[in-house]
Amino acid sequence: MKNYPNLNKAIAKVLYQRRLELELSKKKLSERASITRIHISDLEGGSKNPTMNAVFFLCDALELDPKEFIIRVQKEIKKIEEGIETENAESQK
């Protein structure tokens, strides 16, 4: 199965932004979510896909409803896609 375009990048951004909002270190988030700090780094770097289990643990740790997490990810995907479209249009000029 192929990866959904820009999903990892959007998840990474949402996780990072929310972690900063709560002023959590990666170590503290990893403790709260029962996920290794390295896995948190991989997710925030966009190099790994979280499992649904990980998403729920992360949402609990980030005090974020899973539905709200998905909404934020969808919004971030749109921002990324709009940025790509803008870049493509500018490069064709």
pLDDT tens sequence for the chain (93 residues)? 777 889 999 999 999 999 999 999 999 999 999 999 999 999 999 999 999 999 999 999 999 999 999 999 999 999 999 987 666 556 655
For CA atoms 71, 9, 48, 12, give the dihedral sign. negative
In a domain, 2, yes or no: no
CB atoms under 10 Å from CB of 59, counted, come to 18
Q: How many whole angstroms separate alpha carbon 39 and alpha carbon 88?
A: 33
Which phi and psi angles does 33 have, rounded to 5°? -95, -5
Q: How many whole angstroms separate alpha carbon 88 and alpha carbon 66?
A: 33
Structural domain of 50: 7-91
How many domains does the chain contain in total? 1
0.85 surpassed by pTM? yes
**Could you tell me the CATH number of the domain that includes residue 23?**
1.10.260.40
